[in-house]
A = this chain, B = another copy of it.
Amino acid sequence: MNIAIVGASGAVGQELLKVLDRQDFPVSSLRLFGSNRSAGRKYSYRGSDIEVELLGADRNAFRGIDVAFVSAGASTSREYADMITAHGTVMIDNSSAFRMDRDVPLVVPEVNPQDAFNAPRNIIANPNCTTIQMVVALNPIHRLSPVRRVHVATYQAASGAGAAAMDELVQQHRDLAAGREAVVERFAHQLAYNVIPHIDIFGQDDYTKEELKMHFETKKIMHAPELEVSATCVRVPVMRAHSEAIWVSTERHVSVDEAREAFAAAPGVVLADDIANNVYPMPLELAGCDPVYVGRIRRDLADPNGLNFWCVSDQIRKGAALNAVQIARLLNK
C-alpha cells in the first residue's frame, strides 16, 4: 500500500512510524506531511530518510496514495479532508472532526470491523483513546449479555495532551526535585504531584468533551444506542498509558468467572488478574505495549447485574496509532 502520515512530527505520527515499521505492514511507499513547523524535518523509516512535506503545498499530493493516517488536530482534518480524499485516498482520521458524522464509520477492529467497509466519504474515524480501550474491554462482556450502563473513572497519562505535555511533566518533576518552581504551560494546572479532573473543554450537562466522547462514541462503535456511559476523566502524572476503573451493568447477570473467560478469549485483550501475586495492569509497566490489559475483575457490590474491573492500555499505541494501522490492515484484506 502507498501510505501517507499527516502530522508526522506529533506523538501519534511518530508512533505510526514505529508501528508501520515493526508490524510488517505492506508499505510500498511512505510520504510524510506536516505544518510549516515540521516541514523539512527528516525521519528514518526502514533504512531511508523521509522528509516531511508541507501539507497543502501541492493540492494533488495525495494522488496515488491508498491510505492517509491523519493526526494533526480536528481543524487540520476538516480543512484538508476533501483534498486528501479527492483522488480515492482513504483518510484514517485520528481527530474528533468526523467521528460522530453519520456517513463516517468509527472503527475499533476488535469490535466493529465491518463498519470500515462502509465509508462513502473515504473517511474512517479513529475513536478517542479512552473510548478505544474501553470498548475493546466491554465488547466480550456485551456479547455475553448486552451492557446497559457503564460508569468509568479514568486515570489519563500526559501523552494524551501531546509530546510537549509529556516533556512538561518530566520538566516539572526535574524542577521540583531541584527545589525550583514547576512551570505550567500545556496543562491547566501543575500535573506533577497532582490529578486534574478536567480534560478537553466543558460541554453538555457540564461533562467535558473527553467524557462525552466516551458516552457517544461507545454507542456508535458498539451499535448500542441504549448503552449509557457516565465518565469522569482525570489527568494523572503518568507518561503514556491510560487506566480506567469501569463498572458495567448487563441485561442479565454475568458472573466473574464468565467475564474472566470472555476477557481471556477476546482479541486484543490480555488478562492480568492474579492478585495473589500482586498482578494487575499498571500504566508504568505497559507503556509501549499493544494490548488492552484487564484486571481486578470483581462482582459489583452495589449492583446484582454489575461487574467491576480495571483496564490499562498505551494511549499512543492502541489508543491511537495501532488502532489506525489495524483499520488499514482491514482494508488491505
Residues in B whose Cβ lies below 8 Å from that of A174: 177
Residues in B whose Cβ lies below 8 Å from that of A151: 151, 247, 300, 302
Interface range, A side = 35 or more
The 8 A CB mask of A270-283 against B (1 = contact, 0 = none) is: 00000110101111
Chain B residue at smallest Cβ distance from A175: B177
Interface contact B299-A149, CB-CB below 8 Å: no
Chain B residue at smallest Cβ distance from A216: B301
Residues in B whose Cβ lies below 8 Å from that of A285: 189, 194
Chain A residues 181-213 with CB under 8 Å of chain B are 188-190, 192-198, 202, 205-207
Residues in B whose Cβ lies below 8 Å from that of A308: 230, 232
Residues in B whose Cβ lies below 8 Å from that of A299: 205
Residues in B whose Cβ lies below 8 Å from that of A303: 149, 228, 230
Q: How far is the CA of A275 from the CA of B188 in the complex (A)?
A: 12
Interface contact A282-B196, CB-CB below 8 Å: yes
Q: Is the C-beta of A229 less than 8 angstroms from some C-beta in chain B?
A: yes
Candidate in A176, A193, A298 with the most chain B CB atoms within 10 angstroms:
A193
A271 to B: closest C-beta gap in Å: 13
Interface contact B302-A234, CB-CB below 8 Å: no
Q: Is the C-beta of A173 less than 8 angstroms from some C-beta in chain B?
A: yes
Interface contact A306-B230, CB-CB below 8 Å: yes
Q: Is the C-beta of A98 less than 8 angstroms from some C-beta in chain B?
A: no
The interface stretch among A22-30, A118-126, A238-246 is: A238-246
Chain B residue at smallest Cβ distance from A310: B197
Chain B residue at smallest Cβ distance from A278: B188
- Contact (A295, B215) CB under 8 Å given A237-B237, A301-B230, A302-B150: no
10 chain-A/chain-B pairs, Cβ below 8 angstroms: A155-B236, A193-B284, A194-B285, A195-B283, A197-B280, A197-B281, A197-B310, A198-B280, A202-B275, A229-B302
